Amino acid sequence: MKKVFKFSIEILNNFDLFGHGIELDLHSKPLVKSTFSAIFSIAIMAICSYSLSINIVSWVSYSNMQTISSSINLNINDFLIDNKNVTYSLSYKNYNIYFGLSPSSVFLPFEEIRKYVTQTIMLDDQPLEIEECLQSKMNEFLLENQIDTSANQTITSSICIKNESYTLGLYSDEKDLGLDISEIIYTISRCQNSTNQDYYCASNEEIDQMIPQLSVQVSLPRSFYDFNQPQNPRKRLFDYKIFNMDQKLVKSATAFLSPVYLYRDQGWFTEDYVPQSLDFNVDTYTTDVGSQTSGNQVLFQQFVTLGLNQQIYYQKNQKVLELVASFGGTINVFLIFGKLICFTYNLLILKHKLINISFSNLENAGEFKK
């Protein structure tokens, strides 16, 4: 009966949440420490501090961000339901499309080419000013501002839009239940004398001889992103489309543009995306060829218009709490590693000291007996 009672008391004591620990001191010290463990501990603190500083620098400089890609596909109903309009301001800074027209064998400046064919660029039914492409503007668009060029240096046989800015838009049309979409129209047509021009066209025979030799290069801007370089991921180049002229044919092409947004997260505790750039890439490109009709002087047309797709990139930065959690996780990993090594080493030191103390006590006890 006494054993049963004693066993019951032992089980009951296991539920005590406030038991008092037993601590024994060795040489008046509660812990056994060593120089090896101290050096190892300092190394762990240095590594953790270095890791924290690296994470803070990466966080402040936006050099360690996560990229999230999103695509939006609009349709006509999205515009009609909300009577929504979407407009974009374009210029050489964000969409520097240009055209190069010349005989295959030799480059001719704009002044020479216009004696044979006329080049125009329209925004819907409004003419846009054109100029020979300036190398300085081209460098700025290509994000190569560090390249030093003369302010008036031009690219031979090329034309660009001179206007500082112009607007492309998608406009809901509730009356016809559709969309009105603005477009850029680049046209090449046979030269015709007019009182509005300050030059004279070549003869019909010379124009007929020149047209088959002409080819046009349509240079379509394209932006791409290298997120291995998160601070400056955007790069630009051109996609080239080349068409040969034929006075018996009318050639045309249409480029549907897709806006490309880049947002960067600048929030400390919550997500706060701030727009960084807006570019335009060709989403779809179509071509068409038709027979030349009597009285039609058009040889080629390039249409540039807006599509209904959008591409969005979000660069998500770490938050303060994530930095703290990462730092805490790093410390825990190194502490566990250090404990496996240093705790074992210090335990050996403890056993060694206890053995020395035991033998020392035995020797003292033997001397006392004598």
The three-class DSSP label of residue 333 is helix
In angstroms, rounded to a whole number, what is the distance separating the alpha carbons of residues 179 and 71? 21
In angstroms, rounded to a whole number, what is the distance separating the alpha carbons of residues 88 and 146? 28
Q: Could you read off the pLDDT tens digit of each residue along the chain, which spans 370 residues?
A: 667 667 676 666 665 444 445 455 445 555 555 666 677 677 777 877 777 777 777 767 666 777 888 888 777 776 666 667 888 899 989 999 999 888 876 777 777 888 899 899 999 889 999 888 888 888 889 988 666 666 678 887 788 999 888 988 878 776 666 678 889 999 999 988 877 777 788 888 988 888 899 999 999 999 988 888 877 888 999 999 999 988 888 999 999 999 999 998 887 887 788 888 899 999 999 999 988 877 778 999 999 998 888 899 988 877 777 777 776 777 777 777 767 766 666 666 656 665 665 556 555 555 544 4
In angstroms, rounded to a whole number, what is the distance separating the alpha carbons of residues 334 and 41? 9
Q: Pairing between strand 234-244 and 298-306?
A: unpaired
Residue pair 220/282 in contact by the 8 Å Cβ criterion: yes
Burial of 128 (0-12, 13-18, 19+ CB in 10 A): middle
Length of the chain equals 370
CB atoms within 10 A of CB 11: 8
- Confidence (pTM): 0.73
Q: Pairing between strand 166-173 and 309-316?
A: unpaired
In angstroms, rounded to a whole number, what is the distance separating the alpha carbons of residues 355 and 285? 86
The pLDDT of residue 20 is 44
Residue pair 221/270 in contact by the 8 Å Cβ criterion: no
Reported as type and span, the H/E element at residue 302 is strand 298-306
Residues facing residue 88 across a β-bridge? 168
Residue pair 99/158 in contact by the 8 Å Cβ criterion: yes
Residue pair 330/96 in contact by the 8 Å Cβ criterion: no
The tokens for 267 are: 């929030």
Reported as type and span, the H/E element at residue 99 is strand 98-103
Q: What is the DSSP secondary-structure string of 55-93?
A: HHHHHHTT-S-EEEEEEEE--HHHHHHHT-EEEEEE-TT
The pLDDT of residue 3 is 72
Burial of 134 (0-12, 13-18, 19+ CB in 10 A): buried
